[in-house]
Amino acid sequence: MTIKRPKGANDIMSDTIRQWHYIEEVVRNLMLVYNYEEIRTPIFEHTELFLRGVGDTTDIVDKEMYTFLDKGNRSITLRPEGTASVARVFVEHHIYANPLPAKYYYMGPMFRYSRPQAGRYRQFHQFGVEVLGSVDPNLDGEVIGLAMDFFKRLGIEDLTLLINSVGCPKCRPLHNEALKKYLEPRFKELCPTCQNRYEKNPLRIFDCKSETCQKIIKGAPTITECLCEECKEHFEGVKSYLELLYIPYELDEKMVRGLDYYTKTAFEIVVGGIGAQSSIGGGGRYDGLIQEIGGPDIPGIGFAIGLERVLLTLASQNVPLKSILKPKVFVALLDTELIPQGIELVAILRENNIPASLDVMGRKFKAQFKYANKIGATHVITVGEDEVRDALYPLKNMDTGEEEKQTLLSIIEELKGE
Ligand code: AMP
């Protein structure tokens, strides 16, 4: 039996890898403009980091982590998200001793053991940002605006930005009490997960997928009704920022997001046309997280966007992807005797940053042309004895079919200009 890839994991190649490159380039340009620095953390961490940094009433920690013992008997987990790792770096490397805020972005694979379906995988990729050190609501606005700018630059439309405030350690306990009081008579009807949440973090019951829990929670008091003055004022500040920059949003009092340590601002971006998994990105403020993992009392905010879902959306909205490919040249030889000249020619083109290649399969001249067409070469240069002698080479444009004899210098100038 042949060996197949594990369930829920994807091989990314051919046209798709070119789309990934394009999206990655958009991310890097965007991050330069906003002045965020890339951070690369290990894809595995001590399990405890996620227990404390993501929270044990979340689905991620409760049932989706890839956890194993390594050969030293340490409990290791493949990272299910990026925030906890960035928070760890911030504490471990004393980044808080530098001028703040610290602004980071990351891109890379995450791992969650959930039931695979369209838009939901066991290995998937996120682009995320984390900013540590400021409680300014204008920063929340910047982070949300940055996520929306990413979609705009890609040409994605029809997004809905949902925002909410989930309160802080001052007002959340009041809401928890009100919520528990409301839920108490129907506690036994809640699903086992929500019965657990009832004790630890009842707010997260709003997030439950079970129909019964949703029915029960429907008329429950929302956190919005219980926000303290500080949280209310902060939320007003976030909304003002969004209005200033004409970023449309919807208020969603029941949106509470997955992490346990979210405080104040929470947001989610949803899109139609990609099936049941319609959340394309989301994030929020986590003012208690750094302290929770053993650092100083320093606030933070961030988001993560699922790149597979970005690709699905680009396809469903038929967004033409601007090509980042430079011309690809194939050097076709009329005679195998000319292989050394062909090798030299390709080397010169590459030196000038023009992507170029040569046949290595012993194909006849005609077959070389066919192959060039197949791999999407934009130009073919023919090399024969006469061409080498006269130092003039026919350059064929594979799109238009036009062919013109040129010196190598003028070929390089033409292709560099494209
Ligand atoms: P979260 O870290 O759960 O807040 O998710 C942030 C974003 O990551 C979501 O909006 C999705 O776009 C994406 N995402 C989360 N889980 C998965 C998954 N299992 N497969 C693909 N994308 C995912």
Q: Are residues 282 and 406 in the same domain?
A: no
Half-sphere exposure of 223 (CA within 13 A, CB side): 33
Provide the CATH number for the domain around residue 118.
3.30.930.10
Please tell me the predicted confidence (pLDDT) of residue 320.
84
How far is the centre of ligand 1, averaged over its atoms, from the C-alpha of 281 (Å)? 7
Residues 8 and 124: beta-carbon distance below 8 Å: no
Residues 162 and 252: beta-carbon distance below 8 Å: yes
Q: Are residues 409 and 291 in the same domain?
A: no
Residues 374 and 387: beta-carbon distance below 8 Å: no
Q: Determine the residue of 309, 311, 313 to mutate for testing ligand 1's pocket, defined as the one with the most ligand atoms within 8 A of the Cβ atom.
A: 309
For ligand 1, what atom is nearest to the CA of residue 83?
2
How far is the centre of ligand 1, averaged over its atoms, from the C-alpha of 238 (Å)? 24
Asked if the structure places residue 196 within a domain, the reply is no
Q: Are residues 118 and 43 in the same domain?
A: yes
Give the residues surrounding ligand 1 with Cβ less than 6 Å away: 81, 112, 114, 119-121, 124, 126, 258, 279-282, 304-306, 308-309
How far is the centre of ligand 1, averaged over its atoms, from the C-alpha of 79 (Å)? 13
For ligand 1, what atom is nearest to the CA of residue 279?
10
Q: Is 158 left (phi over 0), alpha (psi -120 to 50) or beta?
A: left
Instruction: Extract the tokens encoding 189.
Output: 């009807």
Please tell me the predicted confidence (pLDDT) of residue 37.
98
How far is the centre of ligand 1, averaged over its atoms, from the C-alpha of 279 (Å)? 7
Q: Are residues 32 and 137 in the same domain?
A: yes
How far is the centre of ligand 1, averaged over its atoms, from the C-alpha of 2 (Å)? 31
Residues 41 and 106: beta-carbon distance below 8 Å: yes
pLDDT tens digits, the chain, 418 residues: what are they? 899 999 999 999 988 998 999 999 999 999 999 999 999 999 999 999 999 988 877 888 888 999 999 999 999 999 999 999 999 999 999 999 999 999 999 999 999 999 999 999 999 999 999 999 999 999 999 999 999 999 999 999 999 999 999 999 999 899 999 999 999 999 999 999 899 889 888 888 988 888 999 999 998 999 989 999 999 999 999 999 999 999 999 999 999 876 667 899 999 999 988 888 899 999 999 999 999 999 999 999 999 999 999 999 999 999 987 665 567 899 999 999 999 999 999 999 999 999 999 999 999 999 999 999 999 899 999 999 999 999 999 999 999 999 999 999 999 999 987 6
Q: Determine the residue of 126, 127, 164, 308 to mutate for testing ligand 1's pocket, defined as the one with the most ligand atoms within 8 A of the Cβ atom.
A: 126
Q: Are residues 391 and 349 in the same domain?
A: yes
Q: Are residues 60 and 135 in the same domain?
A: yes
Q: Are residues 306 and 356 in the same domain?
A: no
Q: Are residues 245 and 364 in the same domain?
A: no
Close Cβ partners of 3 (under 8 Å, ≥ 6 residues apart): none
Q: Among residues 35, 61, 249, 238, which one has the least CA distance to residue 129?
A: 35
Please tell me the predicted confidence (pLDDT) of residue 125.
98
CA nearest ligand 1 atom 9, residue: 281
For ligand 1, what atom is nearest to the CA of residue 82?
2
For ligand 1, what atom is nearest to the CA of residue 283?
4
Burial (CB count <10 Å: 0-12, 13-18, 19+), residue 215:
exposed
For ligand 1, what atom is nearest to the CA of residue 128?
6
How far is the centre of ligand 1, averaged over its atoms, from the C-alpha of 320 (Å)? 24
User: Count of domains in the chain?
Assistant: 2
Q: Does the CA dihedral 92-307-149-143 come out positive or negative?
A: negative
Asked if the structure places residue 384 within a domain, the reply is yes
The rounded distance, in Å, linking the Cα atoms of 44 and 276 is: 29
Q: Are residues 113 and 135 in the same domain?
A: yes
For ligand 1, what atom is nearest to the CA of residue 259?
4
For ligand 1, what atom is nearest to the CA of residue 112?
19
For ligand 1, what atom is nearest to the CA of residue 120?
20
Which domain range does residue 281 map to? Answer: 14-171+227-316
CA nearest ligand 1 atom 21, residue: 120
Asked if the structure places residue 312 within a domain, the reply is yes
Asked if the structure places residue 201 within a domain, the reply is no
Q: Are residues 297 and 351 in the same domain?
A: no
CA nearest ligand 1 atom 18, residue: 120
Domain stop point among 316, 349, 365: 316
* Degrees, nearest 5: CA angle 192-193-194: 90
The single residue listed with the structure tokens 């929270």 is 55
Asked if the structure places residue 197 within a domain, the reply is no
Provide the CATH number for the domain around residue 352.
3.40.50.800
CA nearest ligand 1 atom 20, residue: 120
How far is the centre of ligand 1, averaged over its atoms, from the C-alpha of 125 (Å)? 8
Q: Determine the residue of 277, 289, 303, 305 to mutate for testing ligand 1's pocket, defined as the one with the most ligand atoms within 8 A of the Cβ atom.
A: 277
How far is the centre of ligand 1, averaged over its atoms, from the C-alpha of 365 (Å)? 49
Asked if the structure places residue 256 within a domain, the reply is yes
Asked if the structure places residue 345 within a domain, the reply is yes
For ligand 1, what atom is nearest to the CA of residue 114?
19
The rounded distance, in Å, linking the Cα atoms of 264 and 164 is: 8
Asked if the structure places residue 214 within a domain, the reply is no
